[in-house]
Structure 1
Amino acid sequence: MKIAVSGGGTGGHIYPALALIREIQKEHRDAEFLYIGTEKGLENTIVKRENIPFKSIHITGFKRKISLENVKTVLRFLKGVRESKKMLKDFKADIVIGTGGYVCGPVVYAAAKLGIPTVIHEQNSVPGLTNKFLSRYVDRIAVCFEEAKSFFPDNKTILTGNPRASEVLGQDGMKGRLSAGLKTSMPAVLIFGGSRGARPINDAVLKTLAELGEKPYQVLYITGDVHYEDVRKEVELVGSPENVIIKPFIHNMPEVLAGADLVVSRAGATTLAEITSLGIPSILIPSPYVTNNHQEKNARALSDHGAAELLLEKELTGKKLIDHIDKIILNPNKMNDMKKASSNLGIPDAAKRLYGIMAELVSSKQK
């Protein structure tokens, strides 16, 4: 099968695509891939590093107010469609899947107009503009949250989960703990704010360092590279408790995540897919700076089912953070209930589900 993949702009669109490709490669060595992205997007670096054939088009998103730039975007879209059609014909694509971002618009639209089977994958509980637009043209829409179904036509929308979830399963959590300097004998809380960190979370943790040092659990606190030096200086002033380990970044996140008993994080779609596939309780502090406030809606999809505690950034203080952590990790019954709820929301075989939909579409087309 020849599979064209498109997704870009943020890791939340790129990493699920790569997870899907890796899963298919494991099971179907004869599958061929072409990734279509943009030169300036993260995908240009990340996908090429994976040695996946990569081609690019130039596309930008629409501005939310009337401007000349939107006219240029329409022209870029039309040019992108023409270029995508040529790429897909040359590749002889059997199917095209878009995992989000502006670049998917012309690529998936071009495939639909060529009569190539098409799928879009929506990671968030509230879809972006591109996937809303494409939903009218594609054959199937794969979603990660039940809440997202209401935005799409019911007859072609399927709950599959996020392929990224598959990659954290089977990881050695104890090995992950040891690699991060955590003890295997104490409950572990993992706190992070995404790859770049989150200043409000950093500030809340710094204000509670002394109190955290007296707790019967340990904390691995990932600051993000941008904030690490400032945090380190603050820690030197107040003293660093033995049970609090501070790092700028970790490269083996799936392993370390598998060793955590409780996670405190933002509410990005990929993170939530990973923690629910592992059945980990969480305290979610959604970023209020994202389109359509989708992180809060992602978080509520877990908190409404008892799998997470929701703590809004505007309400975040050091005291509230510690109170939330203590309420969960020092209460075995609550921990167990949240673990079960988290597991119930997890879809660990997401990549296989998604590939099954794709294979079915290709088979139907060939008949």
Structure 2
Amino acid sequence: MKIIVSGGGTGGHIYPALSLIDRLSKNDEVLYVGSERGLENKIVNEKNINFKALKIQGFERKLFSTHNLKTVHLFLKSFKQSKKIIKEFKPDVVIGTGGYVSGAVIFAAAKCKVPTLIHEQNSVVGLTNKFLSKYVDKIAISFDEVRSQFPKDKIIFTGNPRAQEVLNEKKQFDLTQWGLKNELNTVLVFGGSQGAPKLNQAMIDSIEQLNKKDYQLVFVTGSKRFEEVSKALSNINVNKNIYITPYISNMTEILPQISLIVARAGATTIAEITALGIPSILIPSPYVTADHQTKNAMSLVNNEAGLIIEEKNLNSLNLVQKIDHVMDDNKIREKMKINSKKLGIPDAADRLFNVVKDLSK
């Protein structure tokens, strides 16, 4: 098969695309079309995947603005470029995983009469996928809650392919490299690649309490915020049971070692933790479209697989209380683990691959 994949802007759109590409056979030829400024330009190129970049940007909420006029111009230009790329590459299927760049690519593919598929990771439809749903052949979803937001006859439930990639990871990280113990229960606190300022502050305020715990913690600050966290902690003793790092690039190797994760509620995170059955305390980002992270989180909370703290209510007191609630009770942790695992889709990449294969016939 010859396949074009497009998705970008955030890791939530990029990593599912990469997981699907990883599932393809060696005989399949892949072209990834992303944006010049998006994270995908760096991440995809590092994977040595054939990559083409389009100059495109998203809309501002303010409808009439110079920025939005430029956005329309760039979309039309990218649409024409996408048609040219499609005619030259001659794909059997074109797949979009979200982000504004996929809008131009998938729309162009539909107009070129090439079979198309979009993958929606969240429990609330993104604007790009909402627009594309009228034109594509199939729509793969990861949450049942999103069914009512798409044309029923196009929907196929696949789950998020990132789940299968995490589950199939053969390497297991040695925590002693960080001065921690492999046999000790470990909490991972992770606010995303950019970091979450309010979560970081709650952790800074909690360090003296967490120093005394009989479990250990890995605190990921986010690359941009590591220096400010280090400065804030410069006069505070950090015990050997806590390891602080700006970023983890090999997350699939770390996660099997984790007893509890404190994190945002992005679709990729949900897919990863449910694949492995990791108990979670979720702090949804309030800065995302239609508050979709809260809806993602509630899919776990309603099934007793996770707990939630709204960011506006987050502080050191309730953060430590919630962590202790899970970590100090093996029965609670085991129940959450079982319930989380029930929600996982361990063969999500296979399911999505089969949809692609059917479309290519």
Q: TM-score, normalised by structure 2?
A: 0.95
Show CA shifts across 1:182-222 (max 9, x none).
21222111111111211111111121222112222111111
Show CA shifts across 1:108-137 (max 9, x none).
111111211100011111111110000011
The equivalent of 1:51 in structure 2 is: 48
1:251 Cα offset (Å):
2.4
For the pair 1:4 / 2:17, whether they are aligned, the reply is: no
CA RMSD of aligned residues (A): 1.6
Distance 1:229 1:59, change over 3 A: closer
1:23 Cα offset (Å):
1.4
Show CA shifts across 1:51-70 (max 9, x none).
22222222222232223443
1:178 Cα offset (Å):
3.1
The equivalent of 1:263 in structure 2 is: 261
1:154 aligns with one of 152, 155, 160: 152
Q: SS at the partner of 1:96?
A: strand
Q: Is the 8 A contact 1:173 1:257 kept in 2?
A: no
The aligned amino acid for 1:113 is K
The equivalent of 2:102 in structure 1 is: 104
Show CA shifts across 1:208-240 (max 9, x none).
222112222111111122222232233331211
Q: Matches of 1:57 and 1:208 in 2, distance apart?
A: 44
Q: Matches of 1:142 and 1:3 in 2, distance apart?
A: 16
For the pair 1:35 / 2:28, whether they are aligned, the reply is: no
The equivalent of 1:127 in structure 2 is: 125
Q: Matches of 1:257 and 1:179 in 2, distance apart?
A: 15
Structure 2 gaps of 5+ residues are none
1:98 Cα offset (Å):
0.3
Q: SS at the partner of 1:238?
A: coil
Q: Matches of 1:248 and 1:62 in 2, distance apart?
A: 30
Q: Matches of 1:260 and 1:142 in 2, distance apart?
A: 29
Q: Matches of 2:51 and 2:168 in 1, distance apart?
A: 30
The equivalent of 2:64 in structure 1 is: 66
Q: Matches of 1:125 and 1:69 in 2, distance apart?
A: 29
Aligned length: 360
1:174 Cα offset (Å):
5.5
The equivalent of 2:198 in structure 1 is: 200
Q: Matches of 1:250 and 1:79 in 2, distance apart?
A: 37
Q: SS at the partner of 1:294?
A: helix
Q: Matches of 2:170 and 2:73 in 1, distance apart?
A: 49
Q: SS at the partner of 1:56?
A: strand
Distance 1:179 1:350, change over 3 A: farther
1:169 Cα offset (Å):
1.5
Q: Is the 8 A contact 2:211 2:241 kept in 1?
A: yes
Moved more, 71-80 or 94-103: 71-80
Q: Is the 8 A contact 1:182 1:220 kept in 2?
A: no
Q: SS at the partner of 2:100?
A: coil
Distance 1:172 1:117, change over 3 A: closer
The share of aligned pairs that are identical, in percent, is 52
Distance 1:320 1:96, change over 3 A: same
Q: Matches of 1:56 and 1:206 in 2, distance apart?
A: 39
1:171 Cα offset (Å):
3.6
Q: Matches of 1:61 and 1:101 in 2, distance apart?
A: 8
The aligned amino acid for 2:60 is K
Q: SS at the partner of 2:200?
A: helix
Q: Matches of 2:323 and 2:349 in 1, distance apart?
A: 32
1:78 Cα offset (Å):
2.6
Q: Matches of 2:243 and 2:60 in 1, distance apart?
A: 42
Q: SS at the partner of 1:207?
A: helix
For the pair 1:19 / 2:41, whether they are aligned, the reply is: no
Q: Matches of 1:34 and 1:164 in 2, distance apart?
A: 19
Show CA shifts across 1:156-190 (max 9, x none).
11221111122222446863433433212221111
Q: Matches of 1:174 and 1:118 in 2, distance apart?
A: 37
Distance 1:172 1:355, change over 3 A: closer
Structure 1 gaps of 5+ residues are none
What does residue range 128-277 of structure 1 map to in structure 2 within 5 Å?
Answer: 128-171=126-169, 175-277=173-275
Q: TM-score, normalised by structure 1?
A: 0.94
Q: Matches of 1:126 and 1:313 in 2, distance apart?
A: 19
Q: Matches of 1:124 and 1:316 in 2, distance apart?
A: 23
Distance 1:140 1:187, change over 3 A: same
Q: Is the 8 A contact 2:169 2:252 kept in 1?
A: yes
Q: SS at the partner of 1:175?
A: coil
